Amino acid sequence: MTTKITRELFDKVILPVYAPAQFIPVKGQGSRVWDQHGEDYIDFAGGIAVNALGHCHPRLVKALQEQSEKLWHVSNVFTNEPALTLAQKLIDNTFADRVFFANSGAEANEAAFKLARYYATEKYSPYKTKIISFYQSFHGRTFFTVSVGGQAKYSDGFGPKPADIVHVPFNNLDAVKAIIDDHTCAVVLEPVQGEGGLTSATPEFLHGVRELCDQYKALLIFDEVQCGMGRTGSLFTYQQYGITPDILTSAKALGGGFPISAMLTTNEIASVMHPGVHGTTYGGNPLACAVGCEAFDIINSPEVLEGVQQRRAIFIEKLEEINDQFKVFREYRGKGLLLGAELQPQFHDKARDFLNVATEFKVMILNAGTNVLRFTPSLIISENEIQEGMMRFAKAVEKVVNA
């Protein structure tokens, strides 16, 4: 018996933790997606900043096909060439000396938080375990990472949370000064908060946090899972601020759609680790790393990185044209193609309505909280696709406004 694949089947067989759109994508090419009925959609969501090179980029497809005929998996009892190649690319282009591969942003952050505590307790004191994080932050869905994240709605209801994690307002240096002390092992932040509304850190805030971490011998961890890998116009966002973290996490766009993540750090911090302290079955998988190598080379090019700001300008120009007509947006947030459009007060709590209606007009967007629309398209989306997608989006805005 052949099962008929419909949206209704989702409600019967999948754990009810998602509420997906009513159509099922079956094919993607570039910045277009087709559903089961052959209807095409313009993709401004990019798999939540994952498909940085669009769908089925030919160089990524080729890399995957070639690796699939060589080696799929060997576990970390052994190493493999694609993992070593990708690690060296990351090291050559960042502050890092060492790389740990995993499968998701949550796993990379889990490794980062564990490393920070392990380093502090090994180097300084068993009581140096405090982690400072920020309200509205998001760092993953494991119990540790969701507890470090600054949104209680994601961490409440699962019993006692990991201890010694405190949250303060983002971009508020005085709040950090009031809570940081000799027991602090790390300060964790996203240079641009993704799920929390696309708020960018100010240069003064980041420089101040860096100085406080140095003063109290705490590690500065940058979660660049969403804002890294070209998304904001530089390979990693920290490079725009003139400061260097001690640990950085990357995922999403790192594999261009293939699951992979990485934690980057220095020789000094990595020196406390030894075999058995941490691990993962699939981390450094040859398939993922082969695709990651190709995605890295494409993204880390002047053509792609310089094009990010050009495309952002076109998006904002088109959003402004929509806003001139419908008066829905209050301001634009984020950096590069991690772009947020904050809704006017009269449309607060309706971000999901805009997202849902947009799918009716065959354009895929995201929300970041209830008051911000989020656009995270391919970094190489064409101007024609931006124009067409925005025409469709304008019709969706009109329907929501006139509802």
Instruction: Summarize pLDDT for 248-270 with one digit per residue, the tens.
Output: 999 999 999 999 999 999 999 99
**CA atoms of 230 and 228, how far apart (whole Å):** 6
**Is there a contact between 246 and 233 (Cβ–Cβ < 8 Å)?**
no
Q: Supply the pLDDT for residue 197.
A: 86
**Is there a contact between 202 and 241 (Cβ–Cβ < 8 Å)?**
no
Q: Supply the pLDDT for residue 1.
A: 65
Domain boundaries, the chain: 7-56+305-401, 71-299
Q: Which amino acid is at 343?
A: L
The CATH code of domain 71-299 reads 3.40.640.10
Q: Supply the pLDDT for residue 69.
A: 97
**CA atoms of 399 and 117, how far apart (whole Å):** 51
**Is there a contact between 300 and 94 (Cβ–Cβ < 8 Å)?**
no
Q: Supply the pLDDT for residue 403.
A: 79
**Is there a contact between 231 and 194 (Cβ–Cβ < 8 Å)?**
no
Q: Which amino acid is at 351?
A: A
The residues of the chain scoring below 50 in pLDDT are none
**Is there a contact between 188 and 148 (Cβ–Cβ < 8 Å)?**
yes
**CA atoms of 112 and 106, how far apart (whole Å):** 10
Q: Is the dihedral of CA 109, 111, 117, 120 positive or negative?
A: negative
Phi/psi for 37 (5° steps) reads: -100, 10
Q: Which amino acid is at 146?
A: V
Architecture of domain 7-56+305-401: Alpha-Beta Complex (3.90)
Q: Supply the pLDDT for residue 374.
A: 97
Residues with Cβ within 8 Å of 118's Cβ and at least 6 positions away in sequence, in order, are 272, 273, 277
Say yes or no: do domains 7-56+305-401 and 71-299 share a fold: no
**What is the tally of helices (H) and strands (E) in the chain?**
14, 15
Q: Given the DSSP bridges, would you call strands 184-189 and 130-134 parallel, antiparallel or unpaired?
A: parallel
Task: Return the closest-CA partner of residue 57 out of 255, 236, 226.
Answer: 255
**CA atoms of 157 and 357, how far apart (whole Å):** 31
The secondary element (H helix, E strand) that includes residue 333 is: strand 329-335
Task: Return the closest-CA partner of residue 207 out of 176, 168, 167.
Answer: 176
Is 150 buried (19+), middle (13-18) or exposed (0-12) by CB count in 10 A? Answer: buried
The secondary element (H helix, E strand) that includes residue 187 is: strand 184-189
**CA atoms of 225 and 267, how far apart (whole Å):** 22
Sheet order of strands, 25-29 included? 25-29, 32-35, 40-43, 363-364
Q: Supply the pLDDT for residue 222.
A: 98
